[in-house]
Structure 1
Amino acid sequence: MSYLVVIPRVKVENANAISGLTYGFPAISHFLGFTHALSRKIQPDHGLRFTGCGVVCHQHQIQAHRASQWSDYSFALTRNPLTKEAKTAAFNEEGRMHMTVTLFIECQGVIANGDTGARDLALLLQTLYPTQRLAGGTIVSAEMPRILALPENETGLAALTRREMYRALPGFALVDRTDYLTDHWKQRQQQDPNAEMIDAWLDFSVLKMQAAPIDESRQPEHGDAAIWSVVAKPERGYLVPLVTGYGAISPVYSPDEVDKSRDPTMPFCFVESVYGVGEWRSPHRVKDIHQLFWRYQYQDGHYLCRHAEKIEESDLTMYLD
């Protein structure tokens, strides 16, 4: 049986705002990691598994500043704690942000004792998740979780989706649009056989400008005045680049073979970030709650966070060499 666990209005301070080459919001793998940690804590006693997670962001504040309206943003950083010599320690740049999100967690299993069991599980979750970190940040507060049975018929599922999505307003839901990236890459290859996946990804990621000559009656020359305009992204929508997982770049080493690994008792593998395209969508446009769920998928050394049931072979080239 399937359930929906809703944790509304989770307020997080100092979450990680940098993910690979992107910044502005934590990678979706942070939220799936948070879900997996919760799942491991409740599975031994309740026999339940959390298999997916959806995210709706209500508020975010990146800890950054800029000297003027036209200057670049700089992260507000700290150097603490001090070293043993009471000096400031060297550090890597770590962007931080505050955010308020609602988590929609897919739950598989059977909750015993009906409504009473669901209330007990909600109370247990309320005591568990504040003890964890979410995207490296501290959970300050959250509303009481709700446990809902996912209807198997389309009518009931549509009614539940509509009710929960309107409760999630105002906010924006993060959904997977990597299919846009794959389609755009195929179109670029028809025009240029040497086009790579990163070229298609940059069309979604960077701000591009194009110039049009003011005087169209003659051939433009170097130094002529022009009208500059922004090049539209390949698809419509609030599209953003994001990290969607990891790709292996080395064989799997035996435990304790690699120095300074996080857990010397587990096998170790070097990886690179895998990039895709996401869309911030208003919750009232989500017609099926399953459209929100991100799930882990593994194939040929790639650990991906995706919505789709299957991974196309072309999707496995999205990591940047």
Structure 2
Amino acid sequence: MISILGDIAPPVLSAMDQSDELRGYTALRPEHGQPVNFVAVMTGVKPSMDDWVTRSQLDEYVDMCRNRGLYVTANAQFAGFSGDDSLADVIGKETLTTTRAAAHTVAEDVPNASVHVFVGRDRQAVDRTRWSGWYPLVSGGRASSKPWIDHYWFGEGLGYPSCCTEAFARHNNWSVNNMPYQAWRSTQAPSALCNSTPRFTGLTWTAHLPCRYDCAASITLARETRAAVRRHSVELADYVDNLTARPCLVLNEWETFSFDGTCRPSSIQYEAVALMPSNKPNRRLFEALQAGSRVEIRDDLVVIFNSDDVVWIEQCRVDGFAPRVPFFLDFSAGAR
């Protein structure tokens, strides 16, 4: 099988027909950017967004935004590190998020670091979002988590529906819960407008984790975002429509796969599969899916077939960080 995304490679945005306003952003963020979110903020559909840019590009990024009537502020720059060795003796390390990095001031010259910026049309609204958009800290050997209200204010500042922000507060504990599963079990008719599984690509109509995959408030926001993007790039809008209107296999936020195929209640028959980007993608399972043509869910097992031959069996356990609960989401009905 061949991945429909070319092994999760992003599209060549520079080759797409787009407005000058959007091209200014995509020229600076050609890969792993947020063109959909940027258009939503630029056109006033959303109040603000947070983004990442290298320190060497920061001045150019700020000028680009100001030329579009947008205000930019930054709180820190982060340099990632591999492994958890430096956290081994930290009290409360289990409360930390999956994003783990060393923080530095924006003034410092730090190799391979990215500046965390906040962008919007209203300066006060952007500043409020920045004040609540901080990560849990480690100081003096102890982890310090931010209060719940900051999660709510941050979601509000980014334009997320209140129902989704409240669901995030209830379910986003990776030690004991699986938020995509909780959203799925509340869903009656999945809408591609609520398909947040490609959100790490920046190419989705719903950039947040919805409370359900047919959330009315998220659908309304997604429709407005989609209409705004279509005015700036029909090609980009068509690409996102195609990307989000597919059946998916979801295990948790890290492990999601999109298919070119047909979804049934307990199986997906497919011609191609894509691995959705995340902080910790399951490439071994992706390779097994590429060797198959049908995937079934049998209780806690993901079973992959090539014709009638079993090529892989994956057991999913919930007694660990990022509990794994397999389920299918069929978004093939498209944006409705």
User: Which of the pair is proportionally richer in strand?
Assistant: 1
- Highest RCO, 1 vs 2 (Cα 8 Å, sep ≥ 6): 1
TM-score, length-scaled by structure 1: 0.25
User: Which of the pair is proportionally richer in helix?
Assistant: 2
TM-score (norm 2): 0.24
Larger radius of gyration: 1
